[in-house]
Amino acid sequence: MDNKTKFAAVYTQAFIDSYPEFPAEKSANLIMRAVATATSNIRSVAIDGKAFKLTAKRLGIKHTYTAFEAFLNGKEA
């Protein structure tokens, strides 16, 4: 599994866990758009939300654009 695929899986679950008030089936389109945008250009999304913070924690990276970029590009942060 490459890092973008791993990010997508971790972010999806982090979103579901962070926002239980939004049913996963109704949030699927929003999650897919967020993942697509983040994996193509992480700096074009705001990473201050609960889901991104939890994603960073679960991936074992710092909660910074630089760390997300490094992870998504398969490099050390």
**Integer CA distances (angstroms), 65 to 24, 38, 53, 58, 61, in order:** 26, 10, 11, 16, 10
Q: What is the pLDDT of residue 76?
A: 58
pTM of the predicted structure, to 2 decimals: 0.91
Helical spans, DSSP H, in 1-77: 3-18, 24-40, 50-59, 65-72
Looking at residue 28, its pLDDT comes to 92
The pLDDT value recorded for residue 25 is: 81
Q: pLDDT of the chain along its 77 residues, tens only?
A: 899 999 999 999 999 999 999 887 888 999 999 999 999 999 999 999 999 999 999 999 999 999 999 999 997 55
**What per-residue confidence (pLDDT) applies to 26?**
84
